[in-house]
Chain A
Amino acid sequence: MDQVYVLGLLVVFAGVLIGFYALMRERDDLHRILLTDLAEILALALIALVATDLAEALILPGLVVGISELLAVSEVYLAKEDLRTPPTAPPFRIEVMESAPGIMALILVAYGIILSGFTGGAVAAVGAIFYFLCRGQNEQFAIIETVSGYAWVFWIGAFFIFMLLPAYWFFAVMIAGGAILVKVMAKMSLIGTMRGGEHV
């Protein structure tokens, strides 16, 4: 394991050198965002190298932090460059976008619900985003946001059950798994409705 770890560390360090060197040379802000996404991969690789169940449990928060920051920073970018108007170029259509979304989104969302927790939330969100992408969106922004807010509160409740009333661990697991699924899925699928424009 020692050799594997040291080799892995060497590879990631080399990657950091290359990636951050490119970033030093970069002057364009959007390119910088893309490169920070690359940096995110390197951070996760460092955690993955630990190779235990704990590492796996740490990757999940790491991932969510990464996507959260990306979301916030990209929105700041749009605000600062004043790129307010949705794209107006002619819509792009391929056949698969007519037939696939229904069934694929359904599979992903159903699978996500079975998985539950973060993983389920992320998988289901991909399905939802894909659906919004191809079929257009009806703005249910406020409702979804409220749902996700409540899901967050439920999860905090589950946390306190674990800490204060550990005998009821079973309810806590169920609440936590369900609430995080709903929360992550709701938040991330909302991104799908934020694309804007009527062309889709």
Chain B
Amino acid sequence: MTRPGLVISRISRVLSDYENLSALYALLVVGGVIIGIVTLPFIGYDDDQLYPKTLDPSSSLHPYDRGGEPFGTTDVAAQYPENSPYLGYVTAYLTPFSAFLADSTMHLGTTIVSHPGGITDEILYNTRGLDTVVETSILFVAFAIAAYLFRREE
């Protein structure tokens, strides 16, 4: 069938097939990225970052040693420190087990800081806790979908 406006109907035909959807989206992203590469010279890293990493290789908490004293004040470069009155408490805190590990070896910094406490938990649970709420909800929803589809077959 020949229709007027050949180009338009040809585009319409591609658009109307949802098998082409991801290809179409990929095309858009590729277009965006090309703009990105062209404008790359105008992009610069801002050195005044939130929660910057300050490394102290001699610490047993390396690379997560942020100083501070447990149950005292610790300097944390949060966006709105006034919204988190106990800011820094989580960062400086070590569980007894972590404290033991920290005293006995130099090479378990990651493990120690991941054990409840540390700067990452400070961010994830305290200052940006809402992110974590959303994120666990996403996992919850995704699993509900998978479980529903999986169990329906039984």
Which residues of A does B touch, CB under 8 Å?
1-2, 4-6, 9-10, 13-14, 16-17, 20-21, 23-27, 32, 50-54, 56-58, 60-61, 64-65, 68-69, 71-72, 74-76, 78-79, 84, 111, 114-120, 141, 145, 148-149, 152, 155-156, 158-159, 162-163, 166-167, 169-170, 172-174, 176-178, 180, 183-184, 187, 190-191, 194
Contacts and interface: CB of A to CB of B under 8 A. Distances in A.
Given A9-B43, A24-B30, A155 B153 contact: no
A75 B93 contact: no
Interface in B28-52: 29-30, 33-34, 36-37, 40, 43-45, 47, 49-52
Most buried by A among B19, B114, B138: B114
Contact of B125 (A162, A167, A191): A162
Interface string B124-154: 1110111111111111111101110111110
A187 B139 contact: yes
A10 B128 contact: no
Given A9-B43, A76-B149, A163 B114 contact: no
B93 A53 contact: no
Nearest to B98: A114
Contacts of B152: 79
Contact of B143 (A78, A176, A187): A187
Given A6-B43, A16-B29, A166-B85, A53 B120 contact: yes
B89 to A, nearest CB: 5
Nearest to B108: A114
A26 B19 CA distance: 10
Contact of B128 (A20, A57, A177, A184): A57
B145 A72 contact: yes
B36 to A, nearest CB: 5
B51 A114 contact: no
A53 B115 contact: no
A79 B149 contact: yes
Most buried by B among A53, A79, A184: A53
Contact of A169 (B22, B37, B90, B119): B90
A72 B146 contact: yes
Contacts of B142: 68-69, 71-72
Contacts of B27: 20, 24
B45 to A, nearest CB: 4
A194 to B, nearest CB: 5
B138 A56 contact: no
B138 A53 contact: no
B49 A75 contact: no
Nearest to A184: B139
A64 B139 contact: yes
A115 B86 contact: no
A167 B139 contact: no
